[in-house]
């Protein structure tokens, strides 16, 4: 928690410089940063490319987030590099604290995203991106003990995002749909594949966001999850959030999450808090 | 329950019938003719200070550009004008306008509208009318 507070202080300091390195993209069109590291909502990767770098521009984005539910705390931090509003490379690190059981599980995620087609704001067709996430569970003893097959896994996803301007009550609406192929158990936090099934599972992930003003948005997400582990049920994830885009350097997302049952601990609900700072050049 | 449904229906019906939006709603929201002149002037000021896009205007007759911009916004917003310039595609071909250039102009427009206290719904309506022009303007 202390490092979390330090991160926040550093981000706030950095973000107080408004005009420099702002990038060309319109405010909020870089999205937020998901817990896996790339641009997205909170739990869903979007077709959006992180940061405010438009064509020919680079952007660097740093993000920290915390999910606190009844028996677990998930701390995520990431840094991503984007170019040309087309390419996104992200490095993420997740620490799942097992508050009731004791101990922690760490996962690293290297993500690559490439925009295939469309312009989020300007084209009739949605912006479409393809992405891969190379995930590695760094504390595999516990996942192995509960039935996970591998400490590593590769997720592949196809995402479509579009903003409809003047869609509801004169407000802009963003919808995102993502299809993901994964072997991840609880997104890889409990490893990948099982002894009985090492095949890919296909899941759908969805976000809907209402932009109340250029700076404020509210949204909801649904993340379908596989249910492969024998010892415990795995549920779909949901969240509701409020996002504040202070400027092209700082955004804050606060939300409520419902993660269902995790490793036999039922009804895991709680808060989500995320901070992002981004710079373009 | 029956009362609730009837009340809800009434609300929906009156909600729909009480606001037949006038054809020039957006034009009025943007402040009519003086509002559009301010908008064009504000936009020209932003362009002038934007090193990334100002070079596209080095051979532009600014007075004519301003007049056409006002005409176009006026016609788009349902005002009593007729845009007399070339099509967006014709007038932008050869300029090699990039996605970043277009993004910058959209950003300037939002900034100027916000400064002139144009309501968010009207801002979004105008942006919705301009956004489809992207394909006729960029990389031509």
Q: What is the pLDDT of residues A73-122, one digit of tens each?
A: 999 999 999 999 999 999 999 999 999 999 999 999 999 999 999 999 99
Examine the pLDDT at A125 and tell me if it is beyond 90. yes
Q: What is the mean pLDDT of residues A232-247?
A: 97
Examine the pLDDT at B107 and tell me if it is beyond 60. yes
- Residue A247 token pair: 């400027």
Examine the pLDDT at B17 and tell me if it is beyond 60. no
Examine the pLDDT at A9 and tell me if it is beyond 80. no
Contacts of residue A230, defined as CB under 8 A and 6 or more positions apart, other chains included, come to: A147, A194, A196
Please name the residue ranges forming H helices in chain A. Answer: 2-15, 141-145
A237 compared with B15, residue with greater pLDDT: A237
Contact A166 B128 (CB under 8 A): yes
Of the candidates A96, A90, A86, the residue with the CA atom closest to the CA atom of residue A112? A90
CA atoms of A62 and A74, how far apart (whole Å): 17
What CATH number corresponds to the domain at position B88?
A: 1.10.490.10
CA atoms of B34 and A14, how far apart (whole Å): 40
pLDDT class of B21 with cuts at 50, 70, 90: confident
pLDDT the model gives residue A115:
98
CA atoms of A191 and A143, how far apart (whole Å): 6
pLDDT the model gives residue A43:
98
pLDDT class of A20 with cuts at 50, 70, 90: confident
User: 């095949």: which residue's tokens?
Assistant: A199
Contact by Cβ (8 Å): A132, A154? yes
Whether B12 is in a domain gets the answer no
| Burial profile A16-45: b = 16 or more Cβ within 10 angstroms, e = fewer | eeeeebbbbbbbbbbbbbbbbbbbbbbbbb
Examine the pLDDT at A15 and tell me if it is beyond 80. no
Whether B77 is in a domain gets the answer yes
Examine the pLDDT at B5 and tell me if it is beyond 80. no
Provide, rounded to the nearest whole percent, the portion of chain A with pLDDT above 90.
Answer: 92
CA atoms of A165 and A13, how far apart (whole Å): 33
Closest approach of B84 to chain A, Cα-based (Å): 24
CB contact residues (below 8 A), chain A span 194-213, against chain B: 212-213
Closest approach of B67 to chain A, Cα-based (Å): 25
Whether B4 is in a domain gets the answer no
Instruction: Output the average pLDDT for chain A.
Output: 95
Of the candidates A123, A125, A56, the residue with the CA atom closest to the CA atom of residue A86? A56
pLDDT the model gives residue A12:
62
Give chain B positions within 8 Å (CB) of A56.
98, 100
pLDDT the model gives residue B140:
82
pLDDT class of A1 with cuts at 50, 70, 90: low
Q: Mind listing the pLDDT tens digit for each residue in B56-84?
A: 999 999 999 999 999 999 999 999 999 99
pLDDT class of B20 with cuts at 50, 70, 90: confident
CA atoms of B59 and B51, how far apart (whole Å): 15
pLDDT the model gives residue A155:
98
3-state secondary structure of B126: helix
pLDDT class of A21 with cuts at 50, 70, 90: confident
Supply the range of the domain harboring residue B65: 23-137
> Which chain B residue's Cα is nearest to A170?
B121
Q: What is the mean pLDDT of residues B13-39?
A: 85
pLDDT the model gives residue A18:
56
Element (DSSP H or E) covering residue A171: strand A171-182
pLDDT the model gives residue B134:
96
Contact B100 A56 (CB under 8 A): yes
User: 């900034």: which residue's tokens?
Assistant: B111
Give chain A positions within 8 Å (CB) of B103.
24-26, 54
Whether B5 is in a domain gets the answer no
> Within a 10 A sphere around the Cβ of A172, how many other Cβ atoms?
24
Contact B124 A170 (CB under 8 A): yes
CA atoms of A239 and A74, how far apart (whole Å): 15
Whether B17 is in a domain gets the answer no
Q: Are strands A250-258 and A269-280 parallel, antiparallel or unpaired?
A: antiparallel
CA atoms of B123 and B139, how far apart (whole Å): 25
Whether B76 is in a domain gets the answer yes
Of B110, B132, B135, the CB nearest to A214: B110
User: 């609730």: which residue's tokens?
Assistant: B4
Domains delineated in chain A: 2-274 (2.40.160.40)
Contact A24 B120 (CB under 8 A): no
Give chain B positions within 8 Å (CB) of A20.
none
Interface test with B, best of A30, A48, A53, A54 (most B CBs within 10 A): A54
Q: What is the mean pLDDT of residues A38-63?
A: 97
Of B98, B119, B134, the CB nearest to A122: B134
Q: Mind listing the pLDDT tens digit for each residue in A196-205?
A: 999 999 999 9
Whether B15 is in a domain gets the answer no
pLDDT the model gives residue B14:
54
Contact A170 B127 (CB under 8 A): no
Task: Supply φ then ψ for residue A106, to 5 degrees.
Answer: -115, 140
Q: What is the mean pLDDT of residues B97-120?
A: 97
Of the candidates A187, A183, A167, the residue with the CA atom closest to the CA atom of residue A175? A167
Examine the pLDDT at A6 and tell me if it is beyond 80. no
pLDDT the model gives residue B7:
60
ipTM of this model? Answer: 0.90
- Residue A149 token pair: 């097959």
Q: What is the mean pLDDT of residues A146-172?
A: 97
Contact by Cβ (8 Å): A29, A163? yes
Question: For the range A264-269, what are the long-range contacts, defined as Cβ-Cβ under 8 Å and sequence gap of 24 or more?
Answer: A264/A231, A264/A232, A265/A70, A265/A71, A265/A72, A265/A100, A267/A70, A268/A69, A268/A70, A268/A71, A268/A72, A269/A69, A269/A70
Whether B54 is in a domain gets the answer yes
Q: What is the mean pLDDT of residues A19-48?
A: 94
Structurally, how many domains does chain B consist of? Answer: 1
Of the candidates A42, A116, A17, A39, the residue with the CA atom closest to the CA atom of residue A270? A42
CA atoms of A67 and B86, how far apart (whole Å): 54
Integer CA distances (angstroms), A91 to A179, A231, B86, in order? 21, 31, 48
């Amino acid at each position: 928690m202390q490092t979390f507070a330090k991160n926040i202080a550093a981000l706030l300091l950095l973000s107080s410089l408004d005009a420099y390195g702002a990038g060309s993209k319109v405010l909020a069109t870089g999205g937020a940063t998901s817990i896996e590291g790339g641009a997205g909502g909170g739990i869903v990767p979007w077709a959006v490319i992180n940061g405010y770098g438009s064509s020919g521009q680079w952007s660097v984005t740093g993000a920290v987030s915390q999910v606190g539910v009844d028996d677990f705390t998930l701390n995520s931090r990431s840094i991503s590099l984007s170019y040309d509003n087309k390419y996104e490379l992200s490095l993420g690190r997740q620490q799942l604290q097992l508050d009731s059981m004791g101990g922690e599980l760490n996962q690293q995620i290297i993500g690559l995203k490439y925009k295939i087609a469309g312009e989020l704001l300007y084209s009739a067709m949605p912006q479409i991106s393809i992405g891969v996430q190379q995930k590695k569970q760094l504390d595999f003893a516990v996942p192995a003990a509960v039935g996970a097959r591998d400490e590593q896994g590769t997720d592949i996803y196809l995402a479509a995002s579009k903003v409809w301007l003047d869609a509801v009550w004169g407000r802009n609406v963003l919808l995102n749909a993502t299809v993901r192929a994964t072997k991840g158990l609880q997104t890889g936090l409990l490893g990948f594949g099982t002894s009985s099934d090492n095949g890919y599972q296909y899941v759908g992930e969805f976000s809907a966001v209402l932009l109340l003003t250029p700076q404020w948005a509210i949204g909801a997400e649904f993340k379908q999850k596989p249910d492969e582990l024998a010892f415990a049920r795995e549920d779909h994830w949901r969240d509701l959030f409020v996002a504040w885009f202070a400027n092209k350097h700082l955004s804050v997302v606060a939300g409520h999450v419902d993660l269902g049952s995790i490793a036999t601990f039922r009804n895991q609900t709680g808060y989500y808090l995320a901070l992002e700072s981004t710079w373009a050049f | 329950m029956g009362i609730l449904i009837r009340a809800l229906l009434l609300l929906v019906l009156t909600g729909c019938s009480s606001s037949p939006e006038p054809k020039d709603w957006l034009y009025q929201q943007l402040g009519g003719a003086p509002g559009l002149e301010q908008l064009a002037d504000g936009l020209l000021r932003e362009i002038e200070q934007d090193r990334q896009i100002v070079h596209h205007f080095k051979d532009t007759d600014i007075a004519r550009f301003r007049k056409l911009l006002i005409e176009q916004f006026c016609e788009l917003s349902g005002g009593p004008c007729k845009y007399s310039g070339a099509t967006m595609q014709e007038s932008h071909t050869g300029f090699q306008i990039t996605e970043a250039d277009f993004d910058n102009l959209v950003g300037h427009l939002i900034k100027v509208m916000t400064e002139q206290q144009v309501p968010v719904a009207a801002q979004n309506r105008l942006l919705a009318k301009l956004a489809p022009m992207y394909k006729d303007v960029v990389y031509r």
